[in-house]
Amino acid sequence: MSDLSKSSPLRDPSPPGPDDPAGRSRADSDKTPLNWLLLVPIVICLAVPFFNRNDPELFGMPFFYWFQLLIIPIGVTCTVIVYRAHKRNQERGR
């Protein structure tokens, strides 16, 4: 093994030990029900039969296309909510 692999920033860090300043492991800090929100845009995208139609149109664009564009802000919103909640939980632990 070369010396470059030891100093690589992409290397998986070791899990926090008992000397973790927050007093918890990484796995414990990720257990929140809000993480389920990350599945919402995925499940919506996989439900193609639900939005595989032309009507109603929006500005001449079939439902199939504008609904997919609507999923983008839904996914961003869900991700931001989970991110902020996770960040808040980390700050409380310090």
pLDDT tens digits, one per residue of 18-32: 555 555 555 555 678
The model's pTM is 0.64
Q: Over the stretch 79-89, which tens digit does the pLDDT of each residue have?
A: 999 999 999 88
Radius of gyration, CA atoms only, the chain: 21
> What are the residue ranges spanned by the domains of the chain?
31-94
Instruction: Give, for all 94 residues of the chain, the pLDDT tens digit.
Output: 555 555 555 665 555 555 555 555 555 556 788 899 999 999 999 999 988 999 999 999 999 999 999 999 999 999 999 999 999 888 887 6
Q: Report angle CA 13, 42, 59 to the nearest 5 degrees.
A: 135
Q: Which residue from 18, 36, 41, 30 is spatially nearest to 87, judged by alpha carbons?
A: 30
